[in-house]
Structure 1
């Protein structure tokens, strides 16, 4: 593991990644920026799962692992750390499975970019949402899917979710600065 990856994974201010996710990043020699990105998305997912816990039934540990590994395929497609692309999604899924991660956890690498598919779960939606709102990106269609999944009076659920996402988005600049302070290579 490089010193910069270690710094990204250990820097104060964000929740530590699940140990298995961290071990994978270390074993794979992940770029420091990927480590930083996964830290901030995982931290946002931690906030979202805490907020949603009383509103719906879901596997919070799966969401947190998914957030911590959703972009792991960028180890194989490093150009997608600073540019567009989705080749990392199936590659990440295959990489996780090849390292013994069960399909129900590895799937987030594949599903985080396809939240509009008909078979996505609430857990998939939360990982996708965390991967958007960490940088203050709001996606109305995704948020509508989350509101529908959460249930309850739609308008009340929407307002509560909007308040939570606005709170999370208000801290995006510090997350962007943290991620941007790490290089996309070695």
Structure 2
């Protein structure tokens, strides 16, 4: 077991600006055990915080839509864990962390249903994607105010089917949420950048 650095502890636990919710205990313990780079922990905390907002909004607006909230939040909190193995992808492009993250989670006793988010968060356009996958993917984009039309359209279709509302109504409501969440991106990016790779 690797001893966590003081910087990792700050990224995971200390009050932050902007105020970010703590990661699920299981995810935080895993990042500590892996000696995760502090910047990765800060990133996962920021994405998780946005995922909480998205999930709460979906549950309030679409009470009949069945999905696993805990799985979404765990997925958001661990989606890039493979960057422990591929730290170069913390500062540059790459997708090697996706399969590596899934395998890392499986080796640490995480079930396949929750480990999948490490590999699926960038594959929102796969035909067998679930609403949970879409929610993790949206959180992973909007935390930094990135908008992906195809991803959002896919989520809008799911929401419209669940609610019986017209897709344009769901689009407008989702857009309002994502604009609001995107407005905090600068502060979240500054929080992440304050930690070493």
TM-score by length of structure 2 reads 0.92
Q: Counterpart of 2:34?
A: 28
Aligned to 2:95, what secondary structure does the other structure show?
coil
Structure 2 CA distance, aligned partners of 1:124 and 1:150?
Answer: 14
- 1:110 equivalent in alignment to 2:119: yes
Q: Counterpart of 1:11?
A: 14
Count how many residue pairs are aligned between Structure 1 and Structure 2: 184
Q: How does 1:89-128 map to 2 (within 5 A)?
A: 89-128=98-137
Q: How does 1:50-61 map to 2 (within 5 A)?
A: 50-54=56-60, 55=62, 56-61=65-70
Unaligned runs of 5+ in 1: none
- 1:145 equivalent in alignment to 2:154: yes
* Aligned-pair CA distance for 1:149: 1.1
* Aligned-pair CA distance for 1:150: 1.0
Aligned to 1:45, what secondary structure does the other structure show?
helix
* Aligned-pair CA distance for 1:11: 2.5
Unaligned runs of 5+ in 2: none
RMSD: 0.6
Q: Which one of the candidate residues 164, 171, 175 is aligned to 1:158? A: 171
TM-score by length of structure 1 reads 0.98
Runs of 4+ residues deviating >2 angstroms: none
* Aligned-pair CA distance for 1:58: 0.8
* Aligned-pair CA distance for 1:153: 1.2
